[in-house]
Structure 1
Amino acid sequence: MVSLLAVPWFVLETTGSAVLTGLASFATTFPTIISAAFGSSLVDRLGFRAASVWSDLISGVIVLAVPALFLTTGLSYPLLLVLLFLRWLTTTPGETARKAMLPDLAEGAGVRIERAAAAYDGVSRGATMVSAPLAGVLILWIGPSTLLFVDGVTFLLSALLVGTGVSRVARSGRESDGYLNDLRAGMVFLWRDRLQLSATGMIVIVNLLDTGVTQVLLALYARDVAADPRAFGLLTGVLGAGAVAGTIVYGAAGGRLPMRLTYGLCFLLAGVPRVLVLALGAPFPLALAVTMLSGFAAGAINPILGILQYDRIPVPLRARVIGTMTAAAYVGMPVGGLLAGSLSALAGLHVTLLAFTGVYLVISVPPFVFRSWRELDQPHPAGV
């Protein structure tokens, strides 16, 4: 989250261009598609814990290189794009590995998967809640380049925590058939499971929109409307705060809620209100309140998706299918930053926010109308 705030502001500060900020967003999102598509086979070969540790170590070194070069020999914009590309190329295998090991760790700890999935997502949301407003303040205090030093160190700490504090988890038990065959196996499984295919399609679009909002539109809003980078951090932070609360509530009560209706309503509320309130030019305190409400709704989305994956994906295919779904979910993200930056430059921030609101609304429809979503209330055991 520190990177997601510091890098757009760094680019805006050094170039003053919304289009170049969108291009930097492209460089941070496009490699995740490649990495997620082909990295799951590497995760299987290395093992879940080792893949997580190596991913964080390499990512941390690359992040540290950005401010180090900027403050010493100089950092050109093309070189920044290359470093951003490499940094996100190495990050996704670690995320896949940590998600794939969660069911086994939960079983070993005697924790229900609903509670474990909610806790896993809640920690991520909590990091957003804390780091986003903190990053907004630190951008003013120490500058975005120095802030990236802090971000690089956090990757190294993550590698240390996972390497020394997480039990070794057995590998999938299935040997790799090669990168292309592994990718094909994941795609075939996903294509046959229409519920997960529909859910992935929704996430493709919403990730596209969220990338444009988070990495471009909020930065432009903070600069052009609020005239304060702390607004960027506060909006992102209260979204995370609401999501933490929503995740906690779902972890406690999710087993008693209808999954399809819960998912559909939360998906709708997570996207539409927080962008619409900015488009309508509401007072900033009201924008913060609505954003927190949207975050609360978003808190249930990832745990439900996680439960859906763990219930329906056989263990030997877990890393490969999750990697395939991650790659598919990320495919629109590079377009989101470019679209937000380009449309803002052509039509203005207000029109862009309204356009994004409309798409958020349309993409929230499937759980309410598609028959395949009825299966969400009747999860199948993995392997069926």
Structure 2
Amino acid sequence: MCCVRGAALPGDRRPLASVLAANVVSISGSALTGMGVPWFVLQSTGSAAKAGVVAFCAMLPVVLSAMAGGPVIDLIGRRRVGVASDLVCGAAVATIPLLQLVGVLRFWMLCGLMAVTGLFHAPGETARGVLLPALAERAGMPLARAAGLYDGASRCAGMIGSAVGGVLITVLGAQHVLFLDAGSFAVSAVLLAFGLRAVAEAGPQARAEPGLPRGCRRELTEGYRYVAGTPLLLGVCLMTLVTRGLDQGWSAVLLPVHVRDKLGGAGDLGVLEALFSAGALTGALVYGWVGRRFRRWPVFTVAFLIVGMPRFVVAAFTDTVTPLGVMMAIEGLACGVLNPIMATVMYETVPGQLHSRVLSATTASFLTVTPLGGLAAGFLVGSAGLFATTLAIGGAYLFATLSPVIFPAWKQMDAPGPTHARLSSVPGGSGSEPA
């Protein structure tokens, strides 16, 4: 592998650009689905609880596939997994409006199709993410800057999708917008298929014990053992799994219901999501260029506190777009620095040969509670009301985001420990391969 890397053209940014472009295209479409599906459910059923059920069905398979995805990604190849993920997700999304047009779509079908997209989404996202160090090295770019560009591309995509999503839902209808998302997956698959052909790290990775079930089980658990033995990564996983669940309740239920009941409809939802994405894009790009000048721990801690409770409080006490829009823009700015910091810390802490397995483990950990977030928020709104549910979830978010202040392990973000020593302490790990 080292010889192949050495043969790569110095400063070759085409593979990195292909991945960034694929992310922009596919995530723009996914933003349309993220707005269109909850709005479609609310319009067709009027039930916040059913919107929560659909969110649960979409997210639970994400957790399951992330748990087992690491060894599969290495075995099949990151490029192939990324392309297959886009194609299957695009087909599942396109089936929803097709069934609606012929008049046979049922609620259980919608739940099943969203579950298919969730099942294939996590492996594709992981397959792209683990390539970032190799693509940054190939491009001759610092990892922190590449991580900022990677997250910035995703934020840019979210901004594009959100900016036009509300208008398109109003003009075309929620179900027709899903056709655009399906097309975006197809374009993303083509970009990955051709853009990563020359990248050796995008192909299948050698396994220590090919074909042996014992080796598969060991590889599957290796990422989890590494996370459990690394206090910083364990802390990141525990806090993020809580906040991801609360975020899912916000985006899948609380914000759409708030917009429907108190604001002006899908157009306002699009404005709010676009403001958040614009702020997040700005934050990611700024951190990518100047983030190395600052300590990670204080920046991360303050940013997560801004991202958490304030938006819930503003939403609970306002019935106009402007205050919530300003708050979501500020929240997005803070949110934009979080992913580049976490990605850089992870890649500096984890040996290269464990990237797929550890990233799958952390993704699964992040998402463990996420399926329950939308489900719980939907039922809480139905029983306790929107106001009380919004404040309760905001309070829970505040407690979760205080953990970097309380626990000293978080300060290791500024000086990740040596990866080889840690790897040798993991059961089943091997410290002989260079990171």
TM range (shorter): over 0.9
Supply the distance in 1 between the matched residues of 2:413 and 2:176 (Cα, whole angstroms): 46
Q: Name which of 365, 380, 385 aligns with 1:343.
A: 380
Give distance in 1, aligned partners of 2:158 and 2:367: 19
Q: 2:171 corresponds to which residue?
A: 141
- Which deviates more from structure 2 when the two are superposed, residues 346-355 or residues 270-279? 270-279
Q: Which residue of 1 aligns with 2:120?
A: 90
Letter of the 1:379 counterpart: P
* Worse-matched range after superposition: 296-305 or 372-381: 372-381
Counterpart of 1:360?
A: 397
In the alignment, is the contact (CA less than 8 A) between 1:53 and 1:160 conserved in 2?
A: yes
The reply to whether residue 169 of structure 1 matches residue 206 of structure 2 is no
User: Retained in 2: the 8 A contact 1:172–1:317?
Assistant: no
Quick one: distance in 1 between partners of 2:406 and 2:115?
Answer: 38
Shift of 1:169: 3.3
8 Å contact from structure 1 (residues 122, 248) kept in 2: yes
Which digits, 9 at most, give the CA deviation of each residue in 1:95-146, with x for residues without a partner? 0000011100110110000000010000001111111131111111000111
Aligned amino acid, residue 148 of structure 2: A
* Shift in CA distance, 214/179, structure 1 to aligned 2, threshold 3 Å: farther
* Distance 1:42-1:225 versus aligned 2 partners, 3 A rule: same
Say yes or no: does 1:270 pair with 2:272.
no
Letter in 2 for 1:312: T
SS in 2 for 1:379: coil
1:185-264 map, 5 Å? 185-264=222-301
Matched position secondary structure for 1:80: helix
- Does structure 2 retain, via aligned residues, the 8 Å contact 1:37–1:327? yes
Please say if 1:5 is aligned against 2:38: no
Q: Scaled by the length of structure 2, what TM-score is found?
A: 0.86
Asked whether the 8 Å contact 1:247–1:300 carries over to 2, the reply is yes
Corresponding residue for 2:92? 62
Q: Tell me which of 329, 333, 337 is aligned to 1:300.
A: 337
The answer to whether residue 49 in structure 2 is matched with residue 16 in structure 1 is: no
Secondary structure of the residue aligned to 2:420 is coil
The residue that corresponds to 1:333 in the other structure is 370
Which residue in the other structure is 2:144 paired with?
A: 114
The aligned counterpart of 1:47 is: 77
Give the distance between the partners of 1:233 and 1:178, measured in 2 at CA: 47
Question: Cα RMSD over matched residues?
Answer: 1.3
Contact 1:48 1:169 in 2 (8 A): no
Superposition map of 1:72-91 within 5 A: 72-91=102-121
Q: Given the superposition, is the C-alpha separation of residues 179 and 225 from structure 1 closer, same or farther in structure 2, using an over 3 Å criterion?
A: farther
Map Cα deviations across residues 317-375 of structure 1 (whole Å, 9 max, x no partner).
Answer: 11011001101101111110011101111111111110111011111112112111121
1-structure distance, mates of 2:85, 2:164: 25
Q: Distance in 1 between matches of 2:357 and 2:160?
A: 32
The Cα shift of 1:83 comes to: 0.8
The separation in 2 between residues aligned to 1:196 and 1:48, in whole angstroms, is 23
| Residue 409 (structure 2) pairs with residue 372 (structure 1) | yes
> Quick one: which amino acid aligns to residue 58 of structure 2?
T
Question: What TM-score does the superposition give when structure 1 sets the normalisation length?
Answer: 0.97
Identify if the C-alpha distance between structure 1 residues 179 and 72 changes in structure 2 by more than 3 Å, giving closer, same or farther: farther
Alignment match, 1:154: 184
127, 148, 151: which one aligns with 2:157: 127
Question: C-alpha separation between the residues in 2 aligned to 1:297 and 1:240?
Answer: 11
Shift of 1:381: 4.4
- Give the aligned residue type for 2:154: S
Name the CA distance, whole Å, in 1 between partners of 2:257 and 2:403. Answer: 31
- Give the drift of 1:179: 4.7
Map Cα deviations across residues 167-204 of structure 1 (whole Å, 9 max, x no partner): 42324443465554333111110000011100111110
Report the Cα distance in structure 2 between the residues aligned to 1:229 and 1:20, rounded to whole angstroms. Answer: 18
Distance 1:46 1:280 in 2: 50
State the match for 1:99 in structure 2: 129
The residue number in structure 2 matching 1:383 is: 420
Shift in CA distance, 180/70, structure 1 to aligned 2, threshold 3 Å = farther
Please say which of residues 192-201 and 222-231 is displaced more in the overlay: 222-231
For residues 98 and 141 of structure 2, what CA distance do their matches in structure 1 show?
A: 43
Identity of aligned residues (%): 35
- Aligned mates of 1:74, 1:233 — CA distance in 2: 29
The question of 1:310 aligning with 2:340 is answered no
Q: 1:382: how far off?
A: 3.7
SS of residue paired to 1:383: helix
* Contact 1:278 1:353 (C-alpha < 8 Å) held by counterparts: yes
Quick check: 1:63–1:149 contact (8 Å CA) kept in 2? yes
Question: Conserved in 1, the CA contact under 8 Å of 2:223 and 2:361?
Answer: yes
Q: Distance in 2 between matches of 1:43 and 1:77?
A: 32
Alpha-carbon distance, 1:282 to partner? 5.8
C-alpha contact (below 8 Å) 2:227/2:233 kept by paired residues: yes
Q: Deviations over 1:222-264 (max 9, x none)?
A: 1101041112222111111100011111111110111100100
